[in-house]
Amino acid sequence: MKPVFEKPFTQQEAISESVIERIGEILRSGRLHRYNTVEGEEAEATLLEREYAAWQGAKYCLACTSGGYALQLAMRASGLEQGDIVLANAYTLAPVPGAIHAAGGKPVFVEIGADWRINTDDLALKAGSTGAKFLMLSHMRGHIADMETIEAICEEHNITMIEDCAHTMGATWNGKRSGSFGKVAAFSTQTYKHINSGEGGLLTTDNPFIAARAIVMSGSYMLYGSHGAAPDADVFDQIKLVSPNMSGRMDNLRAALIRGQLADLDKNISRWNKRYQALEKVVAASPDIMTTQRPQHEHYVGSSFQFRPKIAPENLPTLLANCGKRGVDIKWFGSEEPTAFTSRYDSWEYLGKQPVLPETLEVLSNTCDIRVPLTFNEQDCVTIGEIIVDEVNALST
Ligand SMILES: Cc1ncc(COP(=O)(O)O)c(C=O)c1O
């Protein structure tokens, strides 16, 4: 009888009792809206912004409704105008092209390499040839590209870099936090991310005008003075009447959930990495599976794991089905049809027909992805790895 893994891949850890208690207090107060405070009180969302800005090492922070919303605001507040070209790595998730589209930008996708990172040669080429004003850099599944090279390309072509840190909250490159390289960064606190508030987003920047515009656009009703990590009033005076309200504020309940988990984030990052490394050790030892050597400069958060089995592409669905029967839930980025949380750049048809990106299609054709929730222990990760290796072996030629 082959071993079967029994835990769900979608189960997050429980919210701590102290956070539940704080949420109870907020509920009992009835003051859930961030601008609904009594004399002398600072809203939970305000405190969160101050704490997250300090943790991230950014001057300004805005708490908002989702990571995708933060991405949209990041582009709008950075001055994106209708029809502006936005370069974006082709390996990302649907909310990213959706945010570019919603903000009025026109994405031009950039190839990725075998390590899932953006191909910096193709980036340099397209930065020069497309007239792009923006780069939306998704650190997809936590893989951080060579940030010094990317910074240099953006600088040479006067491109504003926006970092999508949905999968890199807490990660660093060369000792610097992901989200500190671009002009503005967006983070997600949706359930499957490094902090779980159900839904939620954070925007950080050191630029006072981007921060002020983002705050007013998020729906501040001119109450921006109560924000926790905001620029001075004179900056708001310059932009407040020309920045539309596009409501997407964070409420105090979610802010309490995030504040409570922020305190444990560093500890959780090392818990994730122990699990990731246990899984990687087993899978990387198989000659039939490609993984990636993480760059020395990258301090990643191993909350998901990617691998590429060396099996015939037509056997991928069988591999997924066989692993699924043994309790291992694999996502496949090569499927023609977008399914649960996966999609390929050519399935976003609302953007119009996209040029073929052969390298990206080749890499995604056998890119498999699994979540590594903290509800798994290290032995669970070994078991999952063994099941994957076993099932890939059975199908490899
Ligand atoms: C790469 C990436 N960017 C952005 C987002 C958007 O985050 P949210 O779900 O909070 O809108 C996600 C969400 O899954 C994501 O995976």
* Nearest CA owner, ligand 1 atom 8: 67
Give the pLDDT confidence score for residue 253 in this predicted structure: 98
Identify which of 89, 91, 93 to mutate to test ligand 1's pocket (most ligand atoms within 8 A of the CB): 93
Inter-residue contact 73 to 203 (CB < 8 Å): yes
Q: Give the 3-state secondary structure of residue 186.
A: strand
Residue 222 Cα to ligand 1 middle (Å): 28
| Token duo for residue 329 | 């839930």
Per-residue model confidence (pLDDT) at position 339: 82
Q: With 0-12 CB in 10 A as exposed, 13-18 as middle and 19+ as buried, what is 254?
A: buried
Comparing CA positions, the residue from 81, 37, 45 lying closest to residue 65 is: 45
Residues touching ligand 1 (Cβ under 6 Å) are 66-68, 92-93, 95-96, 138, 140, 164, 166-167, 188, 190, 201
Q: Which ligand 1 atom sits closest to the C-alpha of 167? A: 1
- pLDDT at position 342, please? 76
Q: What is the pLDDT of residue 397?
A: 67
CATH class of 265-395: alpha beta
- Please indicate whether the domains covering 17-262 and 265-395 agree at the CATH topology level: no
Alpha-carbon span 296 to 314, nearest angstrom: 35
Q: State the distance from the centre of ligand 1 to the C-alpha of 256, rounded, in angstroms.
A: 21
Three-class secondary structure of residue 344 per DSSP: coil
Boundaries of every domain in the chain: 17-262, 265-395
Contact in structure between 22 and 256 (CB atoms under 8 Å): yes
- Look at residue 66 in the predicted model and tell me its pLDDT: 98
**Phi, psi dihedral angles at 174 (to 5 degrees):** 55, 40
State the Cα–Cα distance between residues 275 and 8, nearest whole angstrom. Answer: 15
Q: Which residue from 48, 61, 54 is spatially nearest to 19, judged by alpha carbons? A: 48
Distance of CA 286 from the midpoint of ligand 1 (Å): 31
Q: Which atom of ligand 1 has the smallest separation from the CA of 341?
A: 14
**Burial status of residue 137 (CB atoms within 10 A of its CB: 0-12, 13-18, 19 or more):** buried
Domain 17-262 has CATH 3.30.70.580: no
Q: Which atom of ligand 1 is nearest to the CA of 192?
A: 14
Instruction: Quickly count: other Cβ atoms within 10 Å of residue 54's Cβ.
Output: 13
Taking the centre of ligand 1 as the mean of its atom positions, its distance from the CA of residue 313, in whole angstroms, is 28
Q: Would you give per-residue pLDDT tens digits along the chain (397 residues)?
A: 899 999 999 999 999 999 999 999 999 999 999 999 999 999 999 999 999 999 999 999 999 999 999 999 999 999 999 999 999 999 999 999 999 999 999 999 999 999 999 999 999 999 999 999 999 999 999 999 999 999 999 999 999 999 999 999 999 999 999 999 999 999 999 999 999 999 999 999 999 999 999 999 999 999 999 999 999 999 999 999 999 999 999 999 999 999 999 999 999 999 999 999 999 999 999 999 999 999 999 999 999 999 999 999 899 999 999 999 999 999 999 888 888 777 789 999 999 999 999 999 999 999 999 999 999 999 999 999 999 999 999 998 6
Q: What is the pLDDT of residue 336?
A: 83
Q: How many beta carbons lie within 10 A of that of residue 81, not counting itself? A: 11
